[in-house]
Each structure stands twice: as structure tokens, then as C-alpha cells.
Amino acid sequence: MDLGLGSDVTVLVLFSCHCFSHSFQWDERPRHAIPAHEIYYDGKGRRVLDPQRYELSRRFLRHIVSNLSNRHITVADEKQPNFVTLEQMNADGTTSLYAIFFEVKKDNSRRRRLMLRVQSAYVLDHGLTRDVR
């Protein structure tokens, strides 16, 4: 990627399991009723496969991230810092607000490389609120 700095920069993109899973607390089923193949362990904790997040990430996330340089990006949290870009879409064709939260850091182990980590991606059921901005 050419950032106008006189040389190319490599961007390594990583996707968190939050792009396709949700917390147990957001699942309507009792914990014992969730099939083992729907439980994902990310090294820190267990999460549940979210069919909507999975389908949206599979269909749209790669294209959105590949085109970040052409998208409107907002600072979501200055303390972390992380960013958000929004898309109007839904897996079934209806319109919803799909939020992609990510962070970008310089790779300390390699020159001219940035690490872009997609932290989460999901439909904002209640629009963009102060808590997710």
C-alpha cells in the first residue's frame, strides 16, 4: 500500500473471533443447550458462533477492509485508540448499520509494516450510540 511516504507499506490484517461470535450472555439458549461445535475458544475465553456475524463477515468483511482507504473512518475510542467504519447492509438484503471496529499499530518487529486488527464487526441493532462511538 502506498501511503504517500515515498515507499510502500505492507498491511497485515488480522481478524478477531468477535467478527463471527458473541458472548454467552447474548445467547438466548441456556449454556448447556449450546452445541460444542458452536463454542469457540480464542485463547482467552469461550464465545458462541453467531450465525449473523459469521454470514456478514464471510460475505462483506474482506471487501470492506480491502477498501478502507476509500471509506469514512471515525475514531471510536481515543483511549485505546480504535476506529470504526460503518456500512448499510444486512445478510438478507435489508438495510442495517454494520459496524467494523479495528485498531492499527506499527509492527515493531518489521520495518514498513502495519498491523490492522479487526476487533469486531456486527450489526448495530439500535444504531450508533454513544457507547459504541
- How far apart are the C-alpha atoms of 118 and 62, rounded to whole Å? 10
Residue 12: count other Cβ atoms within 10 Å of its Cβ: 11
- How far apart are the C-alpha atoms of 42 and 14, rounded to whole Å? 13
Whole-number pLDDT of residue 132: 45
Q: In sequence order, which residues have a C-beta less than 8 Å from that of residue 33 and are 6 or more positions away?
A: none
Coil, helix or strand at residue 113: strand
Provide the Cα torsion 18, 20, 25, 26; round to 10°: 120
Name the band, by pLDDT with cuts 50, 70 and 90, for residue 122: very high
Give the pTM.
0.82
State yes or no: pLDDT of 121 exceeds 50.
yes
* Sheet architecture: strand order including 113-123: 10-15, 113-123, 97-106, 82-88, 74-77
State yes or no: pLDDT of 127 exceeds 90.
no
Q: pLDDT tens, 61-110?
A: 999 999 998 999 999 888 888 999 988 865 677 778 899 999 999 999 99
- Residue spans of the domains in the chain: they are 10-123
More confident residue, 35 or 130: 35
Region 47-64: what's the mean pLDDT?
94
Whole-number pLDDT of residue 10: 92
Whole-number pLDDT of residue 130: 53
Whole-number pLDDT of residue 131: 52
